[in-house]
Amino acid sequence: MSDPVKIRSIGVIGAGQMGNGIAHVCALAGYDVVLNDIDQDRLDEAIKTIDGNLARQAARKRISEADHAEALARIKPSLDLGEVGHTNLVIEAATEDEALKKKIFQGLTEHLKEDTLIASNTSSISITRLASVTDRPERFMGMHFMNPVPMMQLVELIRGIATEDVTFSAVREVVVKLGKTPTAAEDFPAFIVNRILLPMINEAVYTLYEGVGSVDAIDTAMRLGANHPMGPLELADFIGLDTCLAVMQVLYDGLADTKYRPCPLLVKYVEAGWLGRKVNRGFYDYRGDAPVPTR
């Protein structure tokens, strides 16, 4: 069994919505953070977003102005994957695409210190399969943050078949230090949250597809009838329809059950490039003053 690792610095690969949120909470908790991406514009936008979100927290008196400044100073944006290798824990937060994630891990391994731990923020993909392309499956696990990261309290922790207890304990300790609640999930497709949530969203899309209700009717029904804070189609737009489809495909392929078949209408929206809020159009059109249902 490996020796315990003291985690003082964290590398985050991917400066998108999830990556910048993870960098934000890690820096605020006192960790030195290297935020890596292949796109300088995305790095610049991520730092701008983190700065704005920290300022919002300070304005609401949840953190001090000094906390804001110190957290921002702890984040080092970098295009060089080698700089990530100097950290004690690397969290991959790239797009939900297994081939892409494996490519990242294969390129990352040569840069890592011998005792560096690796975590993937995947929301659905097998941790065991991802770990298998690295040189340290025993030091690899899933660390699934919820979106938006600074607001959401849960982090799912997933062991691969080779994950050692010391790895799990060290990563769990980080989650607690971030002020979040860890929950353990087994390495099955989509883990706990998305195993339950995404089929519900997919069923809402089927309900729309079959003409049972309009976008507005479905979301209103679930907000007021089930007391959900956000309707399932609005939530799908927030998550990203491409991510929803990717998770459903993982469930369908991994569990071989027709109840997980992605709705053809969800496929059609993704093929159209209507991916939700990030492109200003999905089940709602966000280009005006107020969101307008697209069906």
DSSP per position, 127-188: HHHHHTTSS-GGGEEEEEE-SSTTT--EEEEEE-TT--HHHHHHHHHHHHHTT-EEEEE-SS
pLDDT value, residue 5: 76
Task: Please report, for residues 48, 121, 179, 251, 285, the alpha-carbon distance to residue 45 in angstroms, rounded to integers and kept in the order given.
Answer: 5, 20, 25, 32, 23
Which tens digit of pLDDT belongs to each residue from 68-103? 999 999 999 999 999 999 999 999 999 999 999 999
Distance CA 92, CA 119 (A): 6
With vertex at residue 293, the alpha carbon angle to CA 268 and CA 42, rounded to the nearest 5 degrees, is: 70
Q: Are 278 and 284 in contact (CB under 8 A)?
A: no
| Spans in the chain with pLDDT lower than 70 | 1-4
- Say what the pTM is: 0.91
> What are the backbone angles phi and psi of residue 164, rounded to the nearest 5°?
-85, 155
264-272 helix and 193-209 helix, angle to the nearest 10 degrees:
90
DSSP per position, 3-32: PP----EEEEE--SHHHHHHHHHHHHTT-E
pLDDT value, residue 128: 98
Q: For each of the domains in the chain, give its residue range(s) and CATH number, in order of start.
A: 9-185 (3.40.50.720), 195-293 (1.10.1040.10)
Residues annotated catalytic, as ranges: 123, 144, 156, 194
Distance CA 38, CA 79 (A): 6
Distance CA 270, CA 290 (A): 22
Strands 32-36 and 75-78: parallel
Cβ neighbors of 77 (< 8 A, separation 6 or more) are 15, 35, 36, 37, 43, 44, 46, 47
Q: Are 37 and 203 in contact (CB under 8 A)?
A: no
